[in-house]
Amino acid sequence: MVMNSAPTISTPASTNIFNLGKYPTDFIKIESKIFSFSSNVPLFSPPKPLLVCSPTETGEFPVLVLLHGYLLYNSFYSQLIQHIASHGFIVVAPQLYIVAGRDSHEEIETTAKVINWLPEGLVHFLPPQVNPNLKKLGLAGHSRGGKVAFGLALRKLNLTTLDISAIIGIDPVDGMDKGRQTPPPVLTNTPHSFDLGGSGALVIGSGLGEIKRNPLFPPCAPKGVNHEDFYNECRKPAYYFVAKDQGHLDMLDDDTRGIRGKATFCFCKNGKSREPMRRFVGGVVVAFLKGYVEGDMRELVGLREGHEMLPVELQRFEYRV
């Protein structure tokens, strides 16, 4: 049911959001089983398999649910997940599906089920000295997972009663069918139309995402359904960063194995290295969570005023508060 990975190697404490933070972390894999009272099946099984990264020091920590991109594995985000967790967050990454079609209705509903499971289930798999604070909850998603995160946030009252303080789209895409939206459509083509109930919104884009890698495949984040459109439809408070010369999958692990892992280097236009984009995404997500989940705006203000040295060059930066 639960499998702890080998102990994570920690670096010295850092105050730089673009480096690993001060908290030692560990990964926990939680398998999904059919609910049962039998001794062989734990009572608190989640609706989907989860990859969790948690601080191991005593404390109460906010929670971030992170949704993977189209046909990707949650394990491909391990380095990004660890980066965020090391700054004092419990990161929960469900494996929403292995194979999926065009329609993402089911992913939205499944994500809601995972979130609804957290209050009763999560604490049973964390280190005994670690407690999740679900009054401080963020929801993030990459690519199609970004669409799912926004889709759930826009329908939250119908699916979950937990308050979501921060919505994060990491190079979100509302459709991969020849650049068109796929069901259910999230984008409305109307500026500031997203009613997120007052939650803060962060959109991170890749400068190379809308460029084809080769003539055989469409761009991974086509113009018209990508990060720019998501930001344009967010109401304030909203932040928007676009990393120049970085690709749609550059926030993944350096080593993504298997056929799907190797394919992540083939289908999208990539930057020279994944590490700068991954550090950038991790740091900006940490700053945003500290601001809109924990109420500490210092890191965000530092980004806003240019006090932080960034690991990437920005193509665009905007915010509305």
Tell me which residues are annotated as active site.
143, 171, 248
Pairing state between β 166-170 and 25-30:
unpaired
As a whole number of angstroms, the distance between CA 195 and CA 316 comes to 24
Task: Find the length of the chain.
Answer: 321
CA atoms within 13 A on the CB side of 313: 7
| Assigned token pair, 26 | 């560990």
CA dihedral 96, 19, 173, 217 (to 10 degrees): -100
**What three-state secondary structure class fits 65?**
strand
The pair of three-digit structure tokens given for residue 87, joined into one six-digit string: 């700054």
In order, the DSSP letters of 256-289 are: --HHHHHHTTTSS---S-SHHHHHHHHHHHHHHH
Distance in angstroms (rounded) separating the CA atoms of residues 311 and 8: 23
CA separation for the pair 235, 321 (Å, rounded) = 9
Contact call for residues 178 and 218 (beta carbons, < 8 A):
yes
In b/e form, how buried is each residue of 45-58, taking b as 16+ CB within 10 angstroms? bbbbbbbbbbbbee
